[in-house]
């Protein structure tokens, strides 16, 4: 079964049409990168998929369960509160600027939602959180507060926080673009290491070498449409004019 | 009258002043939060009514508001309230006035919170109530603490306005004693009392601010 299906998603902000009929799907364990120029609607697409933004029209389906569909009047209709809550527990999102809770320690940032949203057993939650911190290379930062961490460390905590809820699919919106180049590497390394957790990942990124290397599939977006999608080798050597002109700017990296 | 006798009377006034102060804070701090919710409500009628209430509370003298609360029941409804109503009217007047000021402070604090905090909470599955009370409010409290301190210090001094309703708090007592005894001491004592009270308020608020220093 498809983990996520987006069908004919349309979204505008006032007069500005940002997503023009976007459809895509994600399989279990699949890693999909979304690339494209600034303003092409990549963030908006992730925000519609994670229901931070209300789309105008279209369908959002997680594991066969409809979160939203187009009603008879042509406007998007969202599922009931309870259904949405359950659907929301299937995915996580890592933000560009982390959005950690500054008043919570690293440990509390990671464990609070599993404890008080999922209401899982305390001991298990803490054990898993410690394992995650270890995986992120942050085992000595349990009691630190976000302001005491570097950007790269904050982003790794944010990734751990998302993983602690055991999502089936994890979205990343430019997880490294708020970071210095030397911190970018450590975060990309961590994301890479998640590949063997068999969580599906959808990653919006400007790190072309990374996208090419890690993805099963690359989607190139421009002006609110998917211009091209396919295996990384195919997209990165595409002879489509728009794809080429976009990738040309990253030429030397590839 | 000996100085001791004067001080005993002043001490009684001090108790009443402290009562007005404590009741006002206990009522207006939570009430202000409710008012702030009303002010930010999606319902335009509620929002407008609350906005009007706030503007009246902030735009007219507290002294006048106290008189309206005290005399209102008689002039509006012909209700005769007993003399015990003086103190109640003071509590009510102060509480609804300060709730309006606190509401605006809460509102500015809530609106200054970055939207990313709400979005992160939503993605993590927190409900609306959890998001507000666990994620947003603690951070808002830290942000608004300096403005709240200002308001609390003003309240200490404002309690003297209860003399309008002849409530025997610190200031009325001191004034009456000074006039009857042609003696400055009661007024000086009252001044010292307000000053020390506010030193204490500043000290406590500073401790609270320090207590929240563990994060930024
Ligand atoms: N809340 C909003 N209100 C109005 N316009 C918006 C809003 N969010 C995004 N837009 C506009 O929608 C367009 C697409 O924005 P989006 O953030 O999805 O682009 P992006 O592909 O993520 O770009 P970048 O690579 O710079 O992050 C832009 O023109 C942007 O200005
Ligand atoms: Mg973006």
ipTM: 0.94
Q: Are strands A4-13 and A57-62 parallel, antiparallel or unpaired?
A: antiparallel
Q: B125–A92: do the CB atoms touch at under 8 Å?
A: no
Q: Are strands A169-173 and A200-204 parallel, antiparallel or unpaired?
A: parallel
Q: Do A50 and B123 touch (CB under 8 A)?
A: yes
pLDDT of residue A254: 54
Q: What is the DSSP letter of B133?
A: I
**Chain B interface mutation, best of A83, A92, A107, A113, highest count of B Cβ atoms under 10 Å:** A113
Is the separation of the CB atoms in A194 and A24 below 8 Å? no
Find how far residue A148's CA is from the centre of its chain: 25
CB atoms within 10 A of CB B150: 13
Overall average pLDDT of the A53-71 stretch: 96
From the list A147, A162, A165, the residue facing B215 with the nearest CB is A147
Where do the domains of chain B lie? Answer: 3-215
Among A112-121, A236-245, B44-53, B122-131, name the one with the lowest average pLDDT.
A236-245
Cross-chain CB nearest to A97 (options B116, B214, B216): B116
Q: Is the pTM of this model over 0.90?
A: yes
Least Cα distance to B18 among B162, B149, B148 occurs for: B162
Per-residue pLDDT for A195 more than 90?
no
Q: From ligand 1's centre to the CA of A44, what distance in Å?
A: 6
Quick one: tokens of B207?
């401790």
CB-based contact A117 B125, cutoff 8 Å = yes
How far apart CA A22 and CA A225 sit, in angstroms, is: 6
Per-residue pLDDT of chain B (216 residues; tens, 9 = 90+): 788 888 898 899 999 999 999 999 999 999 999 999 999 999 999 999 999 999 999 999 999 999 999 998 888 888 888 788 999 999 999 999 999 999 999 999 999 999 999 999 999 999 999 999 999 999 999 999 999 999 999 999 999 999 999 888 898 899 999 898 888 888 999 999 999 999 999 999 999 999 999 998
Looking at residues A226-251, what average pLDDT do you find? 90
Architecture of domain B3-215: Orthogonal Bundle (1.10)
Check residue A21 and give its pLDDT: 95
Identify all chain A residues contacting B122, using CB atoms and an 8 Å cutoff.
52, 88
pLDDT at residue A169 tops 80: yes
Which of B119, B130, B215 is nearest residue A102 as measured by Cβ atoms? B215
Query: Which residue has the least CA distance to atom 28 on ligand 1?
Result: A39
A89 lies within 8 A of chain B by CB: yes
Mutation to test the A interface, candidates B120, B137, B212, most A Cβ within 10 Å: B120
**H or E segment at A158?**
helix A151-163
Neighbouring residues of B175: CB distance < 8 A, sequence distance ≥ 6 = B163, B186, B187
Instruction: List all residues 6 or more positions away from B169 whose beta carbon is below 8 Å from its beta carbon.
Output: B13, B16, B17, B20, B159, B160, B162, B163
Q: Between chains, do A161 and B215 touch, taking CB under 8 Å as contact?
A: no
Determine which residue's CA is closest to atom 27 belonging to ligand 1: A38
Residue list, ligand 1 pocket, CB within 6 Å: A 13, 16, 18, 36, 38-44
- Determine the distance in angstroms separating the CA of A212 from the nearest CA of chain B, rounded to an integer: 28
Going by alpha carbons, the residue nearest to atom 13 of ligand 1 is A39
Give the DSSP H/E element, type plus range, for residue A17: strand A16-26
pLDDT classification of A68: cutoffs 50, 70, 90: very high
Centre of ligand 1 from the C-alpha of residue A47, in Å:
10
Pairing of strands A31-35, A217-222: parallel
Where residue A58 falls among pLDDT bands split at 50, 70, 90?
A: very high
Query: Mind spelling out the 3-state secondary structure of A55-89?
Result: CCEEEEEECCEEEEEECCCCCEEECCHHHHHHHHC
A250 in reach of chain B (CB within 8 A)? no
Give the chain B residue whose CA is nearest to the CA of A116. Answer: B126
Residue labelled with tokens 């202000």: B32
Residues of B in contact with A102 (CB under 8 A): 139, 215-216
Chain A residues close to B214, C-beta within 8 Å: 145
Residue A253 has pLDDT above 80, yes or no: no
Structure tokens at A45: 């697409």
**B143 at the A interface (CB within 8 A)?**
no
List CB contacts of A111: < 8 A, sequence separation 6 or more.
Answer: A125, A126, A129, A164
């Amino acid at each position: 079964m498809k983990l996520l299906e987006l069908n004919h998603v349309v979204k505008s902000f006032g007069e500005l049409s940002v997503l023009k009929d976007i459809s895509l799907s994600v399989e279990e364990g699949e890693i999909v990168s979304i690339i494209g120029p600034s303003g092409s609607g990549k963030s908006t697409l992730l925000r519609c998929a994670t229901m931070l933004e209300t789309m105008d029209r279209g369908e959002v389906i997680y594991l066969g369960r409809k979160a939203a569909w187009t009603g008879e009047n042509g406007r998007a209709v969202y599922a009931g509160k309870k259904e949405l809550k359950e659907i929301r527990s299937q995915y996580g999102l890592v933000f560009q600027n982390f959005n950690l809770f500054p008043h919570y320690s690293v440990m509390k940032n990671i464990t609070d939602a599993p404890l008080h949203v999922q209401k899982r057993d305390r001991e298990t939650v803490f054990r898993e959180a410690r394992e995650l911190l270890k995986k992120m290379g942050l085992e000595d930062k349990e009691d630190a507060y976000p302001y005491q961490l570097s950007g790269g460390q904050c982003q790794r905590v944010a990734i751990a926080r998302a993983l602690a809820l055991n999502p089936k699919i994890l979205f990343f919106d430019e997880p490294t673009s708020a970071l210095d180049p030397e911190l970018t590497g450590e975060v990309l390394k961590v994301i890479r290491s998640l590949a063997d957790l068999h969580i599906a990942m959808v990653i919006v990124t400007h790190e072309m070498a990374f996208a090419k290397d890690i993805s099963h599939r690359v989607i190139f977006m421009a002006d609110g449409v998917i211009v091209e999608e396919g295996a990384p080798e195919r997209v990165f050597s595409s002879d489509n004019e728009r794809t080429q002109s976009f990738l040309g700017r990253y030429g030397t990296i590839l | 009258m000996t100085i001791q006798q004067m001080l005993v009377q002043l001490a009684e006034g001090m108790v009443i002043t402290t009562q007005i102060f404590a009741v006002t804070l206990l009522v207006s701090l939570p009430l202000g939060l409710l008012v702030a919710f009303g002010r930010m409500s999606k319902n335009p009628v509620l929002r407008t009514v609350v906005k009007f209430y706030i503007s009246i509370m902030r735009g007219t003298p507290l002294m006048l508001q106290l008189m309206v609360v005290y005399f209102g029941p008689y002039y509006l409804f012909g209700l005769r309230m007993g003399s015990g109503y003086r103190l109640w009217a003071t509590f009510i007047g102060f509480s609804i006035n300060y709730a309006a000021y606190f509401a605006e402070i809460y509102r500015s604090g809530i609106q200054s919170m970055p939207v990313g905090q709400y979005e992160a909470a939503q993605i993590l599955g927190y409900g609306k109530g959890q998001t507000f009370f666990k994620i947003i409010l603690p951070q808002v409290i830290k942000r608004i603490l300096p403005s709240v301190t200002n308001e609390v210090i003003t309240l200490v001094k404002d309690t003297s306005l209860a003399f309008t309703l002849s409530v025997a708090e610190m200031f009325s007592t001191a004034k009456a004693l000074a006039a009857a005894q042609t003696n400055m001491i009661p007024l000086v004592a009252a001044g010292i009392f307000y000053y020390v009270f506010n030193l204490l308020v500043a000290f406590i608020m500073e401790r609270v601010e320090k207590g929240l220093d563990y994060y930024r």
